[in-house]
Amino acid sequence: MNVLVGHGLFDLVTPYFGSKMALDQLPPFASAVDRVKLVAYSGGHMFYSRDASRQAFRAEVEAMMK
């Protein structure tokens, strides 16, 4: 299973750094390193409302699904 955590860099509801800290606490399994990805996009809580962020997020998801 692959996991993509997408955040708006300026999100005040679910801060980026909180997710980073939680993911950094995961056990360092060799197989999980490449399967869990944290990406911050330009924008706030609804980063996908910005065209550039939405397109980047979509490209990331499409690449993950291949």
Domain ranges of the chain: 3-65
Report pLDDT for 1: 83
Q: What is the pTM of this model?
A: 0.79
Hey, what amino acid is at 16?
Answer: Y
Mean pLDDT to the nearest integer, 4-18? 92
23 pLDDT band, cuts 50/70/90, is: confident
- Dump the DSSP string for 7-21: EETT-SSS-HHHHHH
Alpha-carbon span 11 to 18, nearest angstrom: 11
Mean pLDDT to the nearest integer, 21-40? 81
Mean pLDDT to the nearest integer, 30-52? 87
Alpha-carbon span 28 to 53, nearest angstrom: 29
